[in-house]
Structure 1
Amino acid sequence: MSGSNLHMAWARLFLRSLASSGVRDVVLSPGSRSTPLALAAAESQELRCHVIVDERSAGFFALGQARASGRPSLLVCTSGTAGAHYFPAIIEASQSFLPLIAVTADRPWELQGSAAPQTIDQIKLFGGHVRSFSDLGQPDPSPAALRAVVRVAAQAVLRAMSPEPGPVHVNARFRKPLEPVVPSGPEPWEAAWSALVEKGAPAAQIPWITPDPSAIAQLVERCSRAERGLLVCGPHLPSIGASGPAGKSFDLKQYQRSVAALARAARLPVLAEATSQLRFGLGPAITSIAAFDALLRNPAFRSRLAPDLLIEIGAPPTSQGYADLIADHPDCPRFVLAPHGWNDPSSSASALVFGDAAEICETVAARLPAPSRPDRSPWFSALTRADARAWDLVDRELAGDRLSEGFVARAVSSGCPEGSILAIGNSSPVRDLDMYCPASPRPLRVLHQRGA
């Protein structure tokens, strides 16, 4: 077949530009209209291709890659309702601040509104759930259009990473033929195209946002005089984009060391959910109150606890007991440390301190004066005794070999080798992990879906 091979060059340039901007994985759900993109991905020496026919499954597969790697994976599907199956993963990525790029192949504009098959309006298909939308347009040989392909790819990666990590949507239209063709001779756009492929995308340097010094000073002042403070750790939020380096793998040990430094310096017991990455691996020198959800469901216990400082790290804890504690003590100073989002569903926080949580913890810990009070106050000791008694009751419930949800949760978590990654389902499974698995000095990374 003779004719122009511009459609394939267009797709190759787009994929090459994404790769040079940091994308490493492409998750393909094959279909006719996405043929140029699928072939370009398969030919690339810079990209790893994963073929998953079902778009909904593909979306969550790519989401898992982003959660583990800190990089945006690329989703590619055909036209029509195929892209709509990405919607649950798109929403999860948006709510969890995870980078993701969805590319929906589309039919040309002349088929819109004409009852053509597999043709819907894909413009801004995901509405406000994506950080940005771009229409790549149809293949165009002009030098300006070819340069724009590179720019759109670089912008997609940048907006997936910063200022708030999340999903991005790019719509790409193609006319037939969709398969490669053999042109009758050199094409006039080839020299400009080759130069752009060789050059790659421009480097977009993402800024690193540091916490406000006045907020650090306020935290130091509050921690230095708190006598009944709690360090409460909800689901971990990745520090990528605006408050961390793009594509850098999460350093679990460094994160745990930083939080542990604050807990030691301020003598704060740690109330950590399993998905915070701080229940498993903090070390024996840190006092963890892992049964806090069960304890805080008791109104009398909440009343006696009467904290004078609450410091939250990450996303809002899922614990109902902790939500009840906040409601019972609305005047208690509460500081939320997180890289992204307004993480205050009760609308009662004293301050939200934005930045890398590990950096904030390290900075505050370094500035705290040496403690003048005893290592263990009566309040502190009573809290640790209550936690020990709660776990004694849980141990009795799980004694023997009777199969139950709690038995499975503890068996799985305790059976994971040190440094493992445990992927846990949302709803009941993650709650079982919190309810039945005590804190442990053995490192274990827990990945989960937020569930929106």
Structure 2
Amino acid sequence: MISTKKHIQQLASLLLSKGIDDIIISPGSRNGPLTHTFAGSGKFNCRNIVDERSAAYFALGLAQAKQKPVAIVCSSGTASLNYAPAVAEAFYLNMPLIVLTADRPDYWIDQAESQCIRQEGIYQNFTKSAFSLPLGETEKELWFAAREINECLNTAINGTPAPVHINIPLEEPLHDLLDEKLPTVKNITQPDVAAYLVDSELKQIAETVNKAQKILVLAGQQVPNPDLENRLIELVEKTGAVVLKEHISNLNHTTFCSSIDTIMAAIHDGQSEDFAPDLLISLGGQYVSKSLKQFLRKNHPSNHWHLSLSNEHFDTYQSLTKVINMQPSDFIEQLLPKVSSNNRTYFSRWKEKEQQVNQLRDDLIGRTQYCDLTVFDELRKAIPQNSVIHLGNSSPVRYALICDPVKNTRYFSNRGTSGIDGPLSTAVGFASESEKLNTIILGDLSFFYDSNALWNNYLKENLRVIVINNRGGNIFSLIKGPSDSPAFQEHFFTENKFKAEGIAKTFELDYFKAENQQELREVLKDFYSPKQQKPALLEIFTDAELNTKMFRELFKIVKQC
């Protein structure tokens, strides 16, 4: 049984024609025609999540796991506003959410009608395309709507993926049904087209590469891409380029450099010229390291090329000279035959510095007291290889990037907007579709903020939640400024006296805890045991003051090398 609303019928048909069959529904009445059609047609994988904010982040994680668009469906009014944080995150992570919001007819907007707000264009800053379906169902209106839906859905997945929004005004009756199949609607396709450099441009680019003595490649956040990884290895071997990557870049080869923040701290003012590039090539999304950004803004390269399918003019380092509208792997593949071998002095300089700071880090961790730094080192050693790790924002992602990555493991994090509001929901959505073990590491404030992520029926036995409970927002102790304020304790650190055990029990997760190094080592064996066949939560208690002391001690030590 499907809705009698013809616009909804053809919307469902077009979604299917483009392979979009995952639907996350939040319950409501105004979106009844959508719910009836998606669930009643038997063609869609429908999931129900009550909290719209959590539902949208869940869809984001699901889209990451499947690497395809996921649709979210809500009722009218503030329900649609609750999607906004995840839509913004998806926009900056280049993930294609299809946002379907039910609405009242426009003649009721601003007329004191229930659940009525100005919904049209509410995500306009965070979507590639947005429009409202017409209310009428004449032949012309249906033709127009089908064309608009085709264009909107094609936009979501063509080029650089991103969210799109379709607002759907609906008149009563909302729940009339009929026993029919979905109609056949014309599917307008938009195939991907590969881009190549013309010979004259390729020659000029190759000449610049061959003249450069210090080539630095910044690989930002991205999904695993073996082809790109292989091309980057070839580029390093042939030119002596340095590739800087963080765990969320999902590049695993040992020829690349990580430990970025500690390396940056170890570069003295007198060494800046040795490490500053004359050619900078950036690709992918966000970089976590603030110190790297500051270093490159202070030491401008002569040339900065950004590789982007959507022509993004990312001038993050205030030195952008060229935007190249190509897949990074295609660009490097076309470039490699045209470049000559270069000396490896610059490469060796970076790798030697990386080895020095990593040794100092390991020495400190080996002799220090139990704190967040030692906790993340224990987690790194305990989390199984060939799994998936989701990193919460603020302290967790920074501690994780200080430590070596777990080998053969995929890393994800909501670094598009870097908020604390949806990492658990995103991880739950990802894990619901993944066959691998999924670990989410987040802080106590972030966990409590997003605890509704556990309020659904899609928690799988592969989910492991690790809450670092240092009883507040410890990130504000680590950065300059807030910790010196009289308002620090109440309004920055925001002391937390609660524990996660009750929430774990409420949502039927097995609960584990650790309050010292020995307990942590022992409990991690059970937490990651093959015998653990239920989703589980591990709460690790640490002392915020000691965390801050040892974090600052690490950077004090590496600055002396």
Alignment TM-score, normalising by the size of structure 2: 0.68
Cross-structure match for 1:275? 248
**Aligned pair partner of 2:291 in 321, 325, 329:** 321
CA apart distance, 1:418: 4.1
* Matched residue SS, 1:76: strand
Cα displacement string for residues 90-138 of structure 1 (whole angstroms, at most 9, x for unaligned residues): 1112222221111110122342332111112212122332222211122
Distance across 2 between alignment mates of 1:353 and 1:182: 52
CA apart distance, 1:388: 0.8
Q: CA RMSD in A?
A: 2.7
CA apart distance, 1:17: 1.2
**Aligned pair partner of 2:329 in 343, 358, 362:** 358
More divergent stretch after superposition (214-223 vs 107-116):
214-223
Cross-structure match for 2:175? 179
Paired residues of 1:102 and 1:170 also in contact (CA < 8 A): yes
Cα displacement string for residues 17-50 of structure 1 (whole angstroms, at most 9, x for unaligned residues): 1111221211111100001101111123432111
Cα displacement string for residues 292-313 of structure 1 (whole angstroms, at most 9, x for unaligned residues): 3222234333244243322222
CA apart distance, 1:212: 5.5
CA apart distance, 1:434: 1.6
The 3 A distance-change label for structure 1 pair 395 and 251 is: closer
* Matched residue SS, 1:102: strand
Cross-structure match for 1:166? 162
Distance across 1 between alignment mates of 2:126 and 2:16: 24
Distance across 2 between alignment mates of 1:400 and 1:48: 51
**Aligned pair partner of 1:157 in 153, 158, 182:** 153
More divergent stretch after superposition (291-300 vs 130-139):
291-300
**Aligned pair partner of 1:109 in 106, 109, 121:** 106
Cα displacement string for residues 176-203 of structure 1 (whole angstroms, at most 9, x for unaligned residues): 22113469xxxxxx9xxx7x82355232
CA apart distance, 1:403: 4.2
Cα displacement string for residues 315-356 of structure 1 (whole angstroms, at most 9, x for unaligned residues): 353322322332332243222223332222233122222211
The 3 A distance-change label for structure 1 pair 127 and 10 is: closer
1:120 equivalent to 2:117? Answer yes
Distance across 1 between alignment mates of 2:24 and 2:245: 34
Cross-structure match for 1:53? 50
Q: Which amino acid aligns with 2:168?
A: A
Cross-structure match for 1:240? none
* Matched residue SS, 1:447: strand
Cross-structure match for 2:534? none
* Matched residue SS, 2:410: strand
CA apart distance, 1:417: 4.2
**Aligned pair partner of 2:220 in 207, 231, 234:** 234
**Aligned pair partner of 2:272 in 295, 302, 323:** 302
Distance across 1 between alignment mates of 2:288 and 2:376: 18
**Aligned pair partner of 2:19 in 13, 18, 22:** 22
The 3 A distance-change label for structure 1 pair 205 and 333 is: closer
CA apart distance, 1:11: 1.9
CA apart distance, 1:420: 2.7
1:45-444 equivalences under 5 Å are 45-138=42-135, 140=137, 142-181=138-177, 197-199=183-185, 201-211=187-197, 213-236=199-222, 252-278=225-251, 281-282=252-253, 284=254, 286=255, 288-297=256-265, 298=267, 299-340=269-310, 341-369=312-340, 371=341, 373=343, 376-377=344-345, 379-399=346-366, 403-437=370-404, 442-444=407-409
More divergent stretch after superposition (23-32 vs 296-305):
296-305
CA apart distance, 1:211: 4.6
Cross-structure match for 2:41? 44
Distance across 1 between alignment mates of 2:242 and 2:317: 22
Q: Which amino acid aligns with 2:239?
A: A
More divergent stretch after superposition (12-21 vs 420-429):
420-429
Unaligned runs of 5+ in 1: 184-189, 237-249
Distance across 1 between alignment mates of 2:156 and 2:49: 22
Distance across 1 between alignment mates of 2:327 and 2:68: 17
Q: Which amino acid aligns with 2:324?
A: V
* Matched residue SS, 2:133: strand
The 3 A distance-change label for structure 1 pair 352 and 392 is: same
The 3 A distance-change label for structure 1 pair 235 and 11 is: same
The 3 A distance-change label for structure 1 pair 59 and 308 is: same
Paired residues of 1:426 and 1:449 also in contact (CA < 8 A): yes
* Matched residue SS, 1:345: coil
More divergent stretch after superposition (410-419 vs 388-397):
410-419
Alignment TM-score, normalising by the size of structure 1: 0.83
Paired residues of 1:303 and 1:328 also in contact (CA < 8 A): no
Paired residues of 1:335 and 1:351 also in contact (CA < 8 A): yes
Distance across 2 between alignment mates of 1:24 and 1:412: 36
Cα displacement string for residues 204-256 of structure 1 (whole angstroms, at most 9, x for unaligned residues): 334334455555433322332333322222222xxxxxxxxxxxxx6632221
More divergent stretch after superposition (204-213 vs 380-389):
204-213
Paired residues of 1:311 and 1:335 also in contact (CA < 8 A): yes
The number of residue pairs the alignment matches comes to 413
The 3 A distance-change label for structure 1 pair 206 and 92 is: same
Paired residues of 1:26 and 1:76 also in contact (CA < 8 A): yes
Distance across 1 between alignment mates of 2:84 and 2:271: 42
More divergent stretch after superposition (15-24 vs 294-303):
294-303
CA apart distance, 1:421: 2.4
The 3 A distance-change label for structure 1 pair 326 and 363 is: same
Distance across 1 between alignment mates of 2:348 and 2:264: 16
Cα displacement string for residues 245-280 of structure 1 (whole angstroms, at most 9, x for unaligned residues): xxxxx66322211221212221222211111112xx
Paired residues of 1:210 and 1:356 also in contact (CA < 8 A): no
Paired residues of 2:24 and 2:46 also in contact (CA < 8 A): yes
CA apart distance, 1:384: 2.2
**Relative contact order higher in (CA < 8 Å, ≥ 6 apart):** 1
Paired residues of 2:286 and 2:415 also in contact (CA < 8 A): no
More divergent stretch after superposition (148-157 vs 210-219):
210-219
* Matched residue SS, 1:125: coil
CA apart distance, 1:383: 2.9
Distance across 2 between alignment mates of 1:210 and 1:24: 33
CA apart distance, 1:409: 3.4
Q: Which amino acid aligns with 1:292?
A: I
Unaligned runs of 5+ in 2: 418-561
CA apart distance, 1:8: 4.1
Distance across 1 between alignment mates of 2:363 and 2:240: 31
Paired residues of 1:294 and 1:321 also in contact (CA < 8 A): no
CA apart distance, 1:172: 0.9
The 3 A distance-change label for structure 1 pair 22 and 348 is: same
